[in-house]
Structure 1
Amino acid sequence: MAARRQPPTARLRRLAAELKRLRAASEHTRESVEAKTGINTATLYRIETARVRPQKRTLLALLDLYGVKEPAERDKLADLTRDSTQLDWLQLYEPELPEGYQTYISFEAEASRLQNYESLYVPGLLQTEAYARAVIRGVLPTETDEGVGQRVEVRMRRQGILAKQDPVTLWAVVDEAALRRVVGGVDVMKEQLDHLVTQAKLPTITLQVLPYNAGAHPGMAGSFLVMEFPDEDPALVYAESAGGGLFLESNADVARYRATFQHLVAQALSPAETMRFIKAAADAR
């Protein structure tokens, strides 16, 4: 029996992929696994698609069936099942947050490097509280004050990955439109621009503005984020679309978005030029 549903993480994806590979190598179908272990096909599917983490007895039954005898290999997979899969603080907001957003936060928290292109907003990890509140209120006009407040809290807590002992490396390219739009009023926007200047001084943050005069560019299709993880965990892409956010995991998709990001970097102002641009925009408020 599998554990309860929880947001997938990079380590859970790795475990799922490895168990699926081991099943294929042992020439078992999901149906034959059920016949020999009693683990039903629906549960095995959820395990192999990183929807749930298997309980210890389920994992051991699978490893026995797949012929995994090497203690080091068994220990490595067992370690993956014991790793925490959800941020403790995120559980406080779980009932109120959409499942897709919880998944996004879980992946973001594990990432070692982020490449973010934003066309309409200041990146969430670089937003001030006042700007975040104005954005969330504007995007969700029917949300209650309590709901807006909870989302603002979540956004601020997400920013902890920039200040932890081993902080994530963030490279953000932001369209000029996101900085020209006055969100929350002049004072809120000036505070936000000043905050960007301060954050961009951190050695783990690179910020570039994509100016209007860059013309047409490959980011016009929408915002996206390339997430890279430590160890053996494969990279993935989160892309905005008309129907909502999409997680893309194939090597081809990741390579395409990495290439797109490099094109945007080449068309954007340099980090030094970006600082001068943002300071001038702040001073003009």
Structure 2
Amino acid sequence: MGRVGEVTAGESWGFPQAEGTGGGSVVRRILLGSQLRRLRESRGITREAAGYSIRASESKISRMELGRVSFKARDVEDLLTLYGVSDEAERASLLGLAREANVAGWWHSFGDVLPGWFQTYIGLEGAASLIRIYEVQFVHGLLQTEAYAHAVVSRGIPDAPKAEIERRVALRLERQKILVSERAPLFHAVLDEAALRRPYGDRSVMRGQLEHLVEISERPNITLQVMPFSFGGHAGEGGAFTMLRFPESDLQDLVYLEQLTSALYLDKREEVALYERVMTRLQQDSPDPDGTRDLLRGLLQHS
């Protein structure tokens, strides 16, 4: 996204803005929460009873199980005892997960320009093994050059001080490092041709962006396709979206939909399956990566 997530500030996995995120490991919180919920349910213990055991409310247990709050080691220890988890190896594993869940992520240092709700997304993005996106308005944030990102941010918040714009651009460039890291995810992007023709910055900025897309599309973990105007109406009529898949079997695929001042995370199987079909059709109906590079070179010749 190069959209509102880093220009303004959602909902997190079907629930409101995550509490106490502070850049902690979103995925580990969700994993630990889901394991604690399964342990509680397997013992037939109510949330109210679990809350009483750690001197907390039922709603606190609910937030913990949804991964919406940080975890205190003492609370996790008491809950494991209540749930009958006596095996030292299992306890150590879950307590270790609790410690890891509270470790601040790199994006914590950008808290001055990063909305709390978008921290959740960055944590999920960084943990994904497969990222698939469809973008209409502009080139996706993970694929933007510094000059293009600067133009997008400046257009999005024209009254922002120069220092704030630079911080937001720096955040975007830092996010892009996941694509070239040792554990880089597979990244499959379908850009509508409109995103390439809508100018951000001057001609040199747009040329630099197009050249960057040609270059980065050669990376083995990146598949780039462009849905051309010539195709006419297509499956992406619902607008931009992102699909995330995780290496952990406990986490379902999810769809991220960003709005002007919030975002939605969809993880119901039937909803994810619908977006899966749309993404598949977009991929099938767009030129393949080689054809896309030809399209990009054609745009460069006329830019």
TM-score normalised over the length of structure 2: 0.87
The verdict on how the C-alpha distance between 1:217 and 1:166 changes in structure 2, with shifts beyond 3 A counting, is same
The number of aligned residues is: 283
Q: Residue 159 of structure 2 corresponds to which residue in structure 1?
A: 142
1:248 equivalent in alignment to 2:266: yes
**Are 1:136 and 1:152, in contact at CA under 8 Å, matched by a contact in 2?**
yes
Shift of 1:221: 1.2
Task: Give how far 1:87 is off.
Answer: 5.5
Larger mean CA deviation between 174-183 and 4-13 belongs to 4-13
1:6: which partner in 2?
Answer: 22
Distance 1:238 1:34 in 2: 31
Corresponding residue for residue 238 of structure 1:
256
Unmatched tracts of structure 1, length 5 or more:
none
| Structure with more contact order per residue of length (Cα contacts < 8 Å, sep ≥ 6) | 2
Of residues 250, 258, 264, the one that matches 2:282 is 264
- Partner of residue 33 from structure 1, selected from 34, 50, 58: 50
Which residue in 1 is equivalent to 2:243?
226
Structure-2 separation of matches of 1:213 and 1:178: 14
- Mapped to 2, the partners of 1:78 and 1:34 lie a distance apart of 18
Corresponding residue for 2:33? 16
- String of CA shifts for 1:226-275, please: whole Å, max 9, x gaps: 11111323322111346642111222222222221111101111111000
Post-superposition offset of 1:83: 1.8
**Shift in alpha-carbon separation, 1:138–1:102, aligned structure 2, 3 A:** same
What is the CA-CA distance between 1:16 and the residue it aligns to?
A: 1.2
Query: Contact 2:51–2:60 (CA<8 Å) still a contact in 1?
Result: no
Q: Percent identity?
A: 36
- Return 5+ residue gaps in structure 2 as ranges: 1-18
Among 76, 81, 101, which residue is 1:64 paired with? 81
Q: Contact (CA 8 Å) 1:87, 1:106: kept in 2 or not?
A: no
| Partner SS, residue 101 of structure 1 | helix
TM-score by length of 1: 0.93
Q: What secondary structure sits across from 2:187 in the alignment?
A: strand
Structure 2 counterparts to residues 198-209 of structure 1, below 5 A: 198-209=215-226
SS in 1 for 2:233: coil
Report if the CA contact (8 A) 1:39-1:58 is conserved: no
* Residue identity in the other structure for 1:6: G
**1:91 corresponds to 2:108:** yes
